[in-house]
Structure 1
């Protein structure tokens, strides 16, 4: 069994100016939001949820992106409302958010 129930990686890669990248689309801010929310919800730690920054996940053209393991579900998102929906639906209730899945 995995150490975490869910391990979430936010691509926070920053490319040169003018090149598409997740960080230029707010990825670091959204990763911080998700990490803080998971802590507020007391879902942080062993057997629970881990929110991490990742380097390039090589899907910048579909970004910003995040991936949730162990299910290996890839998401795109626009704002905190999208990230909150992923937290509520996927991480809490175990339902994939189809509208944000890539």
Structure 2
């Protein structure tokens, strides 16, 4: 396994590769973004991680960027260049932000589904099964 030197990293992008996102091309999105980052020699600046489901299946394909905390929706491979530009320039990718971290929590952009609330008792019961 690799152990990356993250000392120069400015952005960490978590690409959802859960089942819903994968059905909509998440692996191609992840690879296109990684290719764009490498092509521009930005691997030290932008670190990527492929995740399992991030719980926003209606927004597929999803990515979360830290330290900004922004959640992005509807990503396609063709967004790679524009997305990387937005990271380099420390700007949001217009039209693709679904949730923005405010310091007090997340605000949902207009037109984005609220989603379901977590039933903590149900989660505890399901967790005990594993």
TM-score (norm 2): 0.65
Higher relative contact order (CA 8 A, sep 6+): 1
Does 2:106 correspond to 1:101?
no
For 2:18, the equivalent position in structure 1 comes to: 13
CA contact (8 A) 2:36 2:80 kept: no
SS in 2 for 1:22: helix
For 2:63, the equivalent position in structure 1 comes to: 66
CA RMSD of aligned residues (A): 1.5
CA contact (8 A) 1:77 1:83 kept: no
TM-score (norm 1): 0.82
| CA–CA separation in structure 2 for the residues paired with 1:73 and 1:11 | 14
**Matching of residues 1-102 of structure 1 within 5 Å:** 3=7, 4-14=9-19, 21-45=20-44, 48-89=45-86, 91-102=87-98
Q: Which runs of 4+ in 1 moved over 3 A?
A: none
**Structure 1 unaligned runs (5+)?**
15-20
For 2:109, the equivalent position in structure 1 comes to: none
| CA–CA separation in structure 1 for the residues paired with 2:76 and 2:89 | 20
**Structure 2 unaligned runs (5+)?**
1-5, 99-130
Deviation at 1:61, TM superposition (A): 1.4
